[in-house]
Structure 1
Amino acid sequence: MTAPFDPAHQQASTVCLPPGDWATVLDCLCDHFKAIERGQWLDRFARGKVLDAHGQAIAPDLPYRRGMRLHYFREVPNERPIPVQERILHADEHLVVADKPHFLPVTPSGEYVEQTLLRRLIKRLDNPHLVPLHRIDRHTAGLVLFSANPQTRSAYQQLFPQRRIDKHYQAIAPALTQLAFPLVHKSRLVHGEPFFRMQETAGAVNSETVARVLEKNGDLWRYGLSPITGKTHQLRVHMAALGAAICNDPFYPQLLDTPQDDYHNPLKLLAHSLSFEDPLSGAPRLFQSELSLDW
């Protein structure tokens, strides 16, 4: 028996055709996705990159039908290579652990599709079922866990919302000589402007970070950061709020005009270690990054 098509496993996007009077599926897609040229859609159809709800390739002259569910594979023409290399630290039947370098996105988004940690690992391991169990920022380096088996995925996914996994980061930032460590910083984080930046605001607390000092080097300190919650950009916003924005942060405290990535000056933030009790075996698991932050 053939397994049903799962667009998430195949890294496909899904669209339900909107109301309209188009003659064909191709006409609808061209009008709905105005930024994608007709020739690009025709090329996708020719290569079997547009599928019906059952995962079967369709022809561009297929008659349009309102509400039809289609799957298509996002592509970025002339996608710019990202000259960094990930490392696989662990791989078994259920779990893959990778060290993500700075600047490499975890999953496809925006201008990045093939140049992402997920797509690279799928190709290297020949496993289309890989799914990230959590995310770290494109600018952040360090550990990312992936589920390798749909049958056991939910057991590992529950580690994060149930807070049964300890996450520890390292960051290099200006010295905070006026504060006593370790300290706990709590605040309410909401989306700001532009949309990809976060900001602290009044209201019920929804983010918490424990900060420690690991090493001192003149005006810069190496901090150990343990996020109790997992809000977007939490560590970056919290350090900026304390008065010690993480070195080379292009977003906080101010958004910098940096049109191109500076590979010689990455954000000094590293997802250093992850520890948890394995939900399948009950054994303790500890993974540590092989990357490091230079002063």
Structure 2
Amino acid sequence: MRSPLPVRDGVGATRLHVPMSGPWPTVSAYMAERFFHLDPERLLSRFDHGEIVAYDGSALTRDTPLGAEEFIWYYREPPIEVEIPFDLEIVHHDDDLLVVDKPHFLPTTPAGKYVQNSALVRLRRDFDNPDLTPIHRLDRATAGLLMFSTRPQTRGAYQMLFQDRAIEKVYEAVSARPADWTGSFPQTVRLHIEKFRGQVCVVVDSEREPNSETLIELIGQSDDVIHTLLRPHTGKMHQLRVHLASIGIGILHDNLYPVLTDEQPDDHDRPLQLLARELRFVDPLSGRPREFVTRRTLQYAPR
């Protein structure tokens, strides 16, 4: 369902599903109850200024009755953001594809308190392209290669690469070396990982058939750290972080696995030591092999 509002400052409008019946006399009354944490008068003023619209772009009023529209669109009020002082690096750009090197701490898409400070919004502004869309995602804490579609006409072809597992992804990580570490490489980790609504971390279910798989190889090590190469066969949420933690070498500076710690302000001197290092695939448009390699390195990797 295409938004009737254009992308503004790199950010698309939000679509809200409104019940067609219920105890609310108007759409504005429903929104006031749903978004109870907002100032109701400020919300009503947005109706008065024509900032909340229907599918055809017509403005709703504070008196629009419930049931008049099933979907409405509006721009979220931007949060007050802390600037993330790291830049994206352009690795490749053509008519269909944009590949960038994402820094640690920068989210792929707007989320929570990060909107303008997201890779998507920055790139939409920089390239003046509201059609720019991520083909896959990296965690905010993870650095490395990230692919974007530059136009909707060819987007599906690149998205199918990930859906069909026709793209080779390679990561690297640095883990603290436990004093009693006796593991060996290469080894393949297979686990059943599940994400439940409302939970920050995924859950591992040892009783169920594995749905995630990663080949882990050794790059190097020292007395303090282990540097590994990761070849995921699947793409479950937090898969690499969970797999390394499951064999006793959780990624350095990971605040989620193996133990969830209290949220703290970003410490830019202690980024998660996980890097999306390589992407390889056969281009679905040209049929030619393509390979992209990050220019970034992990600062705690043994030298």
Q: Please report the TM-score for the alignment, with normalisation by the length of structure 2.
A: 0.88
Contact 1:99-1:289 at 8 Å conserved across structures: yes
1:200 aligns with 2:204: yes
Deviations 1:84-128 (A, max 9, x none): 222222121111111111111111222222221111111111111
Pick closer, same or farther for the CA change 1:129–1:45 going to 2, 3 Å. farther
Q: Which residue of 2 aligns with 1:171?
A: 173
Q: Which residue of 1 aligns with 2:274?
A: 269
Pick closer, same or farther for the CA change 1:62–1:91 going to 2, 3 Å. farther
Q: Which residue of 2 aligns with 1:107?
A: 109
State the 1:178 CA deviation. Answer: 1.9
1:41 aligns with 2:30: no
Q: Distance in 2 between matches of 1:148 and 1:157?
A: 12
Contact 2:47-2:62 at 8 Å conserved across structures: no
Mean alpha-carbon deviation: is it higher for 163-172 or for 38-47? 38-47
Q: Which residue of 2 aligns with 1:128?
A: 130
Q: CA RMSD in A?
A: 2.4
Alignment of 1:160-239 (within 5 A): 160-175=162-177, 178-191=182-195, 195-201=199-205, 202-239=207-244
1:287 to 283, 289, 292: 292
Q: Which residue of 2 aligns with 1:154?
A: 156
Task: Specify the code of the residue in structure 1 equivalent to 2:64.
Answer: P
Which structure 2 segments of 5+ residues have no match?
Answer: none
State the 1:7 CA deviation. Answer: 7.2
Q: Which residue of 1 aligns with 2:59?
A: 58
Q: Which residue of 2 aligns with 1:138?
A: 140
State the 1:232 CA deviation. Answer: 0.4
Task: Specify the code of the residue in structure 1 equivalent to 2:277.
Answer: H
Pick closer, same or farther for the CA change 1:42–1:17 going to 2, 3 Å. same
Secondary structure at 2:125's aligned position in 1?
helix
Q: Distance in 1 between matches of 2:71 and 2:257?
A: 40
Pick closer, same or farther for the CA change 1:228–1:47 going to 2, 3 Å. farther
Q: Please report the TM-score for the alignment, with normalisation by the length of structure 1.
A: 0.90
Which structure 1 segments of 5+ residues have no match?
Answer: none
State the 1:154 CA deviation. Answer: 0.7
Secondary structure at 1:224's aligned position in 2?
strand
Contact 1:133-1:156 at 8 Å conserved across structures: yes
Pick closer, same or farther for the CA change 1:207–1:63 going to 2, 3 Å. same
Q: Distance in 2 between matches of 1:77 and 1:43?
A: 18
Deviations 1:54-79 (A, max 9, x none): 2x251433512325310122234322
Task: Specify the code of the residue in structure 1 equivalent to 2:199.
Answer: F
Contact 1:212-1:223 at 8 Å conserved across structures: yes
Contact 1:167-1:275 at 8 Å conserved across structures: yes
Q: Distance in 2 between matches of 1:94 and 1:115?
A: 24
Q: Distance in 1 between matches of 2:296 and 2:48?
A: 42
Task: Specify the code of the residue in structure 2 equivalent to 1:164.
Answer: A
Q: Which residue of 2 aligns with 1:89?
A: 91
Pick closer, same or farther for the CA change 1:122–1:255 going to 2, 3 Å. same
Quote the sequence identity (%): 38
Contact 1:28-1:64 at 8 Å conserved across structures: no
Q: Distance in 1 between matches of 2:273 and 2:15?
A: 36
Q: Distance in 2 between matches of 1:289 and 1:48?
A: 45
